[in-house]
C-alpha cells in the first residue's frame, strides 16, 4: 500500500497522514492554551471595569463570571472528547471500515426493503451514490445520538442555571428530531447531485460542482427564512406603533427595501436576544427577537395575548427605549449598505471555487487516500471528506483566522455607520443592555480574543464609539 512521504524529521519519514494528524493535535493544543489564558484573565478579574460600573453591579458581574467559567469548563471537556474521537477515527481508520460495512449491508438492506415495500431501490455494493447516502445516514444517526447528552447538559444545566433556557424537554427533542429529518431530506439530494456531477463532469467537473453548490446555496438562502425557519419558530408582524414607524423611517432613510418587519418568538427557546435581516433584491425582511423588546407581548396561537416579559422575572431584559432597538438595526443594516453581506458571500464563493479546483488535481492521486487507510476504489464522497476535512485543514485554519480579523473590521465599520445616522449614543446603551442581558464577560485576553471573537470585545467597541462620538 503506497503512502505519501512529505519528508523526514531526525531521520524518521513523515507521511501525509502523520502530518495531518500532528497538525490537528497542534491546533487542539493551541486552542487549549488560548482557553487557559482566557480562563486566567476571568479568574483574576475581580472588579467591574470602570466603563461598566454604571450598568453592571457586583452581583451581576459575579454571575457573568460564573457563567463564562461554566461554559469554558464545558468546552474543555467537549473539545477534549471531540479530539479523542477524531484521534480514534483517524488512527484506527474508522471511515474506511465504516464504508466496508456499508457495502456489506447494501444488498441485504435492499432485499429487506423489497420484501417490506415491494420496491427494488437498486442498493448494492456497486451503487456508489446509494451507498454514499447509506454511509451518511449511519454517520448522521451516530452524531444525532452522540451529541444529545452534550446538548442536554448545556441547555438544561448550564443555560438553565443562569435563566437562559426556556425549552421544555419535549420541545427540545422535537426540535432536534425535526432538524435531523430535514438534514436528511435536504442533504441527501444535494450530496447525490454533487457525487453525480463529479463522476460525470470530466476534467472540468470542478466548475460544474462549484456552480451546483452556488445555486444550492442561493436557493437555501431563499427558502430557509420562508419555509424552513417557521418549522422551528413562530413569526408575527411587528405591531403598528412608534417602534415600527421608527424602523420603517430608518429603512426609508437608507433606501433599504423593507418588505416585512417580523418578530420571532425566541423567548420560547432562550432568553438571549438578537436581530437580523435577510432576503434578495427588493424583497428584504427584518426580524427582531421578542426578547430584544422589553415588555413585548407575543400573541398566543389562539389569538389571545401571551404574558409579557414584564409579567415575569425577565422584566428588566431587553431594550426599553425604541431608539436603542433602531440603533441595533442601524448597525445591522449598515452591513447591507456598506456591502458587507456581498463581501462575505464573494469571499466564501471564491474560497469554495479554489477548494474545488485544488480537489480536482488531488482526486485521482490514490496514494493520498491509502495514507488514510483506504485500499482501493475509494468513493467520491470519501475523497471529498479526506481532502476537504483533513488535507485542507491547515488552509481552513488560516482562512478562518483571516475571516475573524475581517469580521471585526466590518463590525467597526457598521458601528460607524450607525453613528453617522445619529444613533451612536443609543448604540452604546443598546450594546450595554445586550451585554448585561446575555451575561457576557467584559474582559478578554488579547490573544484569545484575536483568535476567537468575530465581534470586537465590548470595551474596545465602546472606546471606538466614544472616539466617533467626540468627532461628531
Nearest to 328 by CA among 225, 226, 250: 250
* CA distance linking residue 249 with residue 259, whole number of Å: 13
Beta strand pairing status for 12-15 and 5-9? Answer: antiparallel
* CA distance linking residue 233 with residue 252, whole number of Å: 28
* Helix (H) / strand (E) containing 278: strand 275-278
Residue 263 CA, distance from chain mean position? 21
335 is in an annotated binding site: yes
Name residue, grid cell 449511519: 138
List, as one string, the DSSP characters of 296-325. Answer: --PBPTTSSBPPPGGGSTTTT-SBSSHHHH
Q: Which of 155, 415, 437, 445 is catalytic?
A: 415
* Helix (H) / strand (E) containing 284: strand 284-289
Q: Which residues, at least 6 apart from 63, have a Cβ–Cβ distance to it below 8 Å?
A: 162, 439
54 is in an annotated binding site: no
* Grid coordinates belonging to 399: 482562512
CB 419 within 8 A of CB 465: yes
* CA distance linking residue 426 with residue 269, whole number of Å: 27
Q: Which of 332, 366, 420, 460 is catalytic?
A: 332
Cα-based torsion angle of the residue sequence 241, 245, 251, 252 in order, rounded to the nearest 10 degrees: 150
Does 415 participate in catalysis according to the annotation?
yes
* CA distance linking residue 127 with residue 116, whole number of Å: 21
Does 242 participate in catalysis according to the annotation?
no
248 is in an annotated binding site: no
- Residue spans of alpha helices (H) in 321-423: 322-337, 340-362, 366-370, 380-385, 393-420
* Rg of the chain in Å (alpha carbons): 25
CB 292 within 8 A of CB 312: no
* CA distance linking residue 144 with residue 203, whole number of Å: 37
Give per-residue burial for 330-350: e unless 16+ CB within 10 Å, then b. Answer: bbbbbbbeeebeeeeeeeeee
CB 41 within 8 A of CB 443: yes
Catalytic residue positions?
A: 332, 415
Binding site as annotated, residues: 331, 335, 411
* Residue ranges of the binding site for Zn(2+): 331, 335, 411
Amino acid at each position: 500500500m503506497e503512502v505519501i512521504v512529505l519528508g523526514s524529521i531526525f531521520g524518521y519519514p513523515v507521511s501525509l497522514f502523520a502530518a495531518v494528524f500532528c497538525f490537528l493535535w497542534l491546533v487542539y493544543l493551541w486552542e487549549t492554551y488560548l482557553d487557559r489564558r482566557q480562563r486566567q484573565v476571568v479568574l483574576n478579574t475581580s472588579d467591574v471595569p470602570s466603563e461598566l460600573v454604571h450598568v453592571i453591579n457586583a452581583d451581576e458581574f459575579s454571575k457573568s463570571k460564573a457563567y463564562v467559567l461554566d461554559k469554558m469548563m464545558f468546552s474543555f471537556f467537549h473539545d477534549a472528547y471531540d479530539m479523542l474521537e477524531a484521534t480514534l477515527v483517524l488512527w484506527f481508520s474508522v471511515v474506511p471500515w465504516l464504508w466496508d460495512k456499508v457495502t456489506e449491508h447494501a444488498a441485504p438492506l435492499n432485499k429487506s426493503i423489497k420484501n417490506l415495500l415491494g420496491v427494488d431501490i437498486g442498493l448494492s455494493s456497486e451503487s456508489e451514490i446509494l451507498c454514499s447516502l447509506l454511509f451518511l445516514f449511519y454517520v448522521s444517526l451516530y452524531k444525532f445520538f452522540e451529541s444529545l447528552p452534550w446538548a442536554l447538559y448545556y441547555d438544561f444545566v448550564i443555560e438553565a442555571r443562569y435563566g437562559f433556557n426556556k425549552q421544555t424537554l419535549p420541545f427540545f427533542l422535537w426540535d432536534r428530531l425535526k432538524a435531523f429529518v430535514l438534514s436528511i431530506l435536504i442533504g441527501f439530494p444535494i450530496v447525490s447531485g454533487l457525487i453525480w456531477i463529479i463522476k460525470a463532469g470530466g476534467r472540468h467537473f470542478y466548475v460544474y460542482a462549484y456552480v451546483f453548490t452556488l445555486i444550492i446555496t442561493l436557493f437555501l438562502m431563499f427558502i430557509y427564512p420562508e419555509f424552513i425557519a417557521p418549522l422551528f419558530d413562530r413569526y408575527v408582524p411587528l405591531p403598528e406603533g412608534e417602534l415600527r414607524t421608527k424602523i420603517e423611517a430608518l429603512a426609508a432613510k437608507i433606501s433599504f427595501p423593507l418588505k416585512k418587519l417580523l418578530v420571532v418568538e425566541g423567548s420560547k427557546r432562550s432568553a438571549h436576544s438578537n436581530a437580523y435581516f435577510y432576503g434578495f433584491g427588493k424583497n428584504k425582511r427584518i426580524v427582531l427577537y421578542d426578547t430584544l423588546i422589553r415588555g413585548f407581548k407575543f400573541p398566543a396561537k389562539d389569538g389571545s395575548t401571551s404574558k409579557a416579559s414584564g409579567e415575569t422575572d425577565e422584566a428588566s431584559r431587553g431594550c426599553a427605549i425604541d431608539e436603542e432597538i433602531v440603533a441595533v438595526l442601524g448597525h445591522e443594516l449598515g452591513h447591507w449598505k456598506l456591502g458587507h453581506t456581498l463581501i462575505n458571500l464573494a469571499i466564501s464563493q471564491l474560497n469554495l471555487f479554489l477548494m474545488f479546483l485544488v480537489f480536482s488535481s488531488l482526486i485521482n492521486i490514490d496514494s493520498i487516500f491509502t495514507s488514510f487507510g483506504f485500499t482501493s476504489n475509494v468513493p467520491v464522497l470519501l475523497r471529498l471528506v479526506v481532502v476537504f476535512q483533513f488535507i485542507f485543514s491547515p488552509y481552513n485554519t488560516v482562512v478562518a483566522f483571516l475571516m475573524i480579523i475581517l469580521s471585526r473590521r466590518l463590525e467597526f465599520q457598521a458601528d460607524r455607520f450607525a453613528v453617522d445616522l445619529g444613533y451612536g449614543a443609543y448604540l452604546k446603551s443598546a450594546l450595554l443592555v445586550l451585554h448585561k442581558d446575555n451575561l457576557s464577560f467584559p474582559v478578554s485576553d488579547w490573544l484569545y480574543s484575536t483568535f476567537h471573537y468575530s465581534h470586537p470585545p465590548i470595551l474596545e467597541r465602546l472606546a471606538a464609539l466614544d472616539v466617533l462620538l467626540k468627532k461628531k
